[in-house]
Amino acid sequence: TYQAVDLISITPNTAIRAGADQTNVLGVRAEGGLLTLYANGYQLAQYTDTSYGDGRFGIYVRSGASAVYTYRLERIAYWVLD
């Protein structure tokens, strides 16, 4: 079984477009033990943890301020960086 782990706390950021009919492009770069998070071309956060040798990735969506929201995932992809 797999368990979700919060590596970085939820933090509001002006790089994330909030509200109705908004589109956001999100990215995660994992290089060794360094994870870098991006939104719309802006770096949001970095986290270093070498305890995870491998694993899986997925999408978890949660509203920070409102109980009424929708989201649509249009595309998910990954690349192996050499």
Q: What is the pLDDT of residues 48-66, one digit of tens each?
A: 988 877 777 778 777 777 7
CA 61 – CA 78 distance, rounded (Å): 19
> 68 falls in which pLDDT band (50, 70, 90)?
confident
Residue found by looking up tokens 């994870």 in the block: 35
Q: What pLDDT score does 80 carry?
A: 82
Task: Give the pTM.
Answer: 0.77
Q: What pLDDT score does 69 carry?
A: 79
Share of residues in the chain with pLDDT > 70 (%): 99
